[in-house]
Amino acid sequence: MTEPKQKWTETIETQHSLFDLKLKEVWQYKDLVYMFVKRDFVSSFKQTILGPIWFFINPILTTIVYLVVFGKIANLPTDGAPPLLFYLAGVTLWNYFSSCLLGTSSTFVGNAGIFGKVYFPRLVTPLSIVISNLMRFGVQFLLFIIGWLYYFSKGEVHPNIWVLATPFLILLMAVFALGVGMIFSSLTTKYKDLNMLLGFGVSLYMYATPVIYPTSALPVFFKNFHFITL
């Protein structure tokens, strides 16, 4: 009597194509992504008094500090944009990028216990970090929109065609942070010093990008370098 053939639903292989991200498989685990997003969101404000209000406090206080230090004391230009709105835009975007990058850079080490117990696509955990940070970014971006509408009503800012590229640029920034973060995450499983080095590097990298100053303040060489690398 022959034994019935077993039908495998998943085959785990040590080698696969470099460009095989298994996005279809990630979609099959969308409920797990939702669970991780919910976990990250809840744990961020657990045992806090103000809770999600910190979504607004963080960019507001940071913007005020930048406005005083770089706008009033250092007297850096903003290319005619209202200084408060200029720094708020830079802080909002940079917070999202740095949160995604630093969060995904430690995802493999932080979830090693789960990885050893049950199988699921490894892309699920860093992707959930990007999505949970996107929710925070959405709230902070709403604050920026309110500020923009205020200055628009006063005639101090005017929209242009580049506004339509905003969703694409946000997606590009998220994918870039996800990719670089996963590279560092795979390396920090063996060299944990890289995680601390990355945190220090991200803090310094902010001052090398047009977050606190406009691109017009850069020399021509550095301006071209920014367009190539960023």
Helix (H), strand (E), coil (C) string for the chain: CCCCCCCCCCCCCCCCCCCCCCHHHHHHCHHHHHHHHHHHHHHHCCCCCCHHHHHHHHHHHHHHHHHHHHHHHCCCCCCCCCHHHHHHHHHHHHHHHHHHHHHHCCHHHHCHHHHCCCCCCCCHHHHHHHHHHHHHHHHHHHHHHHHHHHHHHCCCCCCCHHHHHHHHHHHHHHHHHHHHHHHHHHHHCCCCHHHHHHHHHHHHHHHHCCCCCCHHHCCHHHHHHHHHHC
Looking at residue 174, its pLDDT comes to 93
Question: Is the residue at 26 inside a domain?
Answer: no
Tell me, what's the pLDDT at 17?
Answer: 55
Angle between helices 193-205 and 166-188 (to 10 degrees): 150
The pLDDT of residue 1: 47
Residue 20 lies in a domain: no
- Give the domain range for residue 205: 51-229
Q: What is the pLDDT of residue 228?
A: 46
> What does the pLDDT read at residue 5?
53
Both tokens assigned to 71? 């706008």
| Confidence (pLDDT) at 225 | 56
Q: Is residue 5 part of a domain?
A: no
- What is the predicted pLDDT for the residue at 153? 92
Domain assignment present for residue 36? The answer is no
- Each of the 230 residues of the chain gets a pLDDT tens digit; together they read 455 554 555 555 555 555 556 777 778 888 888 988 888 877 777 777 777 788 888 889 999 999 999 888 888 888 888 999 999 999 999 999 999 999 898 888 877 778 778 887 888 888 999 999 998 899 899 999 999 999 999 888 888 888 888 999 999 999 999 999 988 888 888 887 788 888 888 888 888 888 888 877 766 666 555 554 55
Q: Does the residue 45 lie in any domain?
A: no
Q: Domain total for the chain?
A: 1
For residue 42, the model assigns a pLDDT of 77
Residue 194 lies in a domain: yes
For residue 9, tell me if it sits in a domain. no
**Residue 180 and residue 93: Cα distance in Å, rounded?**
17
Cβ–Cβ contacts within 10 Å for residue 30, how many? 11
CA distance 142 to 55: 11
pLDDT in the model for residue 208? 80
pLDDT at res. 65: 93
